[in-house]
Amino acid sequence: MDSMSAITTASDIQTNYMKLLVAELQNQNPLEPLDNKEMASQLAQLSQLQQLETMNSGFARILTSVERTYASSLIGKDISFLTESQTGTKETQRGVVGQVYNDVDGEILLVANGHTVTLNEVMSVGS
């Protein structure tokens, strides 16, 4: 199952809410009708949720773009990063970034002197 299919979007919530609202209106007690103010408030909240979801998606795209640009700017630069030795201890390594690419999950990877590291693993950058 795709991980994104498990996430309910604001559109899905709004569609389900409308279906529920129609069913409620069809089956309401005429002596106790639904509160219009409450319905309007709920619709406004759904609209806000949808706007926040759109904004969040936009920010995620911007962040990805900025990270790619930053990673590309590291080509030819000397970086330091932690690696694990054969004995299991952590060692600081240095290397010049020669390549930047995305793995199958979309994570940005740097190749420096034969070591592949993520942006989060870079400890320092030099010229």
Judgement on whether residues 9 and 63 belong to the same structural domain of the protein: yes
Its domain, for residue 88, covers: 75-126
Tens digits of residue pLDDT in 8-56:
777 777 788 778 777 777 777 777 777 778 777 877 887 888 888 889 8
Number of domains in the chain: 2
Judgement on whether residues 49 and 84 belong to the same structural domain of the protein: no
State residue 7's pLDDT score: 65
Judgement on whether residues 58 and 115 belong to the same structural domain of the protein: no
Judgement on whether residues 35 and 88 belong to the same structural domain of the protein: no
Judgement on whether residues 48 and 93 belong to the same structural domain of the protein: no
What's the maximum distance between 2 C-alpha atoms anywhere in the chain? 78
Last-in-domain residue among 38, 53, 70: 70
- Which residue spans within 1-127 are E strands per DSSP? 78-84, 90-102, 108-112, 115-118, 122-126
| Long-range contacts at 93-98 (CB < 8 A, ≥ 24 apart) | none
